[in-house]
Copies of this chain bind each other. A is one copy, B any other.
Amino acid sequence: MARRLGVWLIGAKGGVATTVIVGILALKKGLTAQQGLVSQLAAFAHLDLVGWDDFVFGGHDIRECSLVHEAKKLHTDSRVIDEHVLSQCLAELAEIDANIRPGILLNVGKTIEGLADPALRNSKETQMAAILRAQQDIKSFAKQNDLEQVVVVNVASTEPILDAQSWPETWDELKTLLDGSGQIRIPSSSLYAIAALDAGLPYINFTPSLGSAPAAIGDLARQRKTCHMGHDGKTGETLLKSALAPMFAHRNLEIMSWVGHNIFGNMDGKVLDDPENKRTKVKSKDRLLREILGYEPQTHISIEYIESLGDWKTAWDHIHFRGFLGTPMVMQFTWQGCDSLLAAPLVIDLIRFAERAHRQGEVGLLTFLASFFKSPLGIQENNFERQFQLLQAWADGIE
């Protein structure tokens, strides 16, 4: 079945988005194998997922740089993308650049503002105007490219925590507050989510930012009969936690403390160097132990920006646990993974699964995608294997 799927990337010039785009180009051209792509596992072969040739990219970004420049930086700074792959993708990257529109710069915190195109920084756009502009951008993209469907994915930098607990729970109530006299401050990630869902498009939040998490935005998704999921892609250290912690739980080994120290040097790391933004991330990483174990060991998570590492995220975890007769033992691991290369295939998987679910008529949170997220919305399951079983069961249910 032929179809053309638009992928609208929020943070379209960032490391993850760039790697997603280069990755799809490389897959189209047969320059790479399929490592890292969950959706290419045999278990999902019958799903008739969107093929590499069907992807059409556009997006929003707040920075001025070019996709080509970003892709080259991934090669030179971090040795992430092979020169021979890169050189064969430059022409298409330049074309896709033309599909990237200026992003929304509301309530994103000072560090992200500091990265933005100065023109955006001085804009006085209201929240509602930003939503409408974003929607218009996506609609033009769909029309110009003759797309049957568009999926919107947030892969932008992490925003500072913004407490949405006091927000109203229905879309109708929230809507009336949107452009009231600043009664409510909505972060850009949520404005994009509103723009996408209001237009009936699936929305995926791959970041720890607020996105579509508030109840009122979920209500909007249901009203528009579309689907969404988030948040915070589970790419490295937390993935390992969700695979290892159940083992300790099932063996009744008492975890006394679990310390995780993360170092890396990409743009994401720079933004997380701001304590405001870091807090959002750490909170997302720290939840699952308590939920898997049923008790709360001492935990400490640090994330430090070490420039020389570029995109190579290195984590050291120290797990101090008590075995039989109360004896303390230790497990340590180090993880040396390339952040963008771990994230990008998951983003592609999420796009393909979300498109499939939407095609199937699914509405609301796609909880069967829990295995992809550090803090899956709408579901308590944090055990990785059981999360994966949910995905399998969903796939098994589709003929």
Q: Is A341 interfacial (CB 8 A cutoff)? A: yes
A240 at the interface (CB under 8 A from B): yes
Q: Which of A210-255 contact B (CB under 8 A)?
A: 239-240, 243-244, 246-247, 250-254
Cβ contacts under 8 Å, A318 to chain B: 263, 314, 316
A93 at interface, CB cutoff 8 A: no
A345 close to chain B: CB less than 8 A? yes
Cross-chain contact B331 with A333 (CB below 8 angstroms)? yes
Interface residue from B34, B247, B342 paired with A240 (Cβ < 8 Å)? B247
Judge if A81 is at the interface, Cβ distance under 8 Å. yes
A167 interface residue (CB < 8 Å to B): no
Residue of B nearest to A41 (CB): B252
Find chain B residues with CB under 8 A from A259 CB.
Answer: 261, 263, 304, 306
By a CB distance below 8 angstroms, the chain B residues around A308 are: 256-257, 298, 320, 328
**Is A386 an interface position by the 8 A CB rule?**
yes
Determine if A384 and B247 form an interchain contact, defined as CB atoms under 8 angstroms apart: yes
Chain B residue nearest to A81 in the complex (CB): B325
Q: Roughly how many angstroms separate A302 CA and B32 CA in the complex, as a whole number?
A: 34
Do the beta carbons of A35 and B243 come within 8 Å of each other?
A: no
Q: Does A23 have its Cβ within 8 Å of any Cβ on chain B?
A: yes
Q: From B244, B302, B386, give the contact of A243 (CB < 8 A).
A: B244
List A249-275 residues whose CB lies under 8 Å from chain B. 250-254, 256-257, 259, 261, 263
Contact check, A335 vs B331: say whether CB atoms are below 8 A apart.
Answer: yes
Q: Contact: B324 with A342, CB < 8 Å?
A: yes
Q: Please, could you name 17 A-B residue pairs with CB atoms under 8 Å apart, sorted by A?
A: A19-B324, A19-B325, A23-B324, A33-B326, A41-B252, A83-B83, A83-B84, A240-B247, A240-B331, A243-B246, A243-B247, A247-B385, A257-B307, A298-B307, A329-B338, A331-B334, A384-B385
Q: Does A393 contact B (CB under 8 A)?
A: no
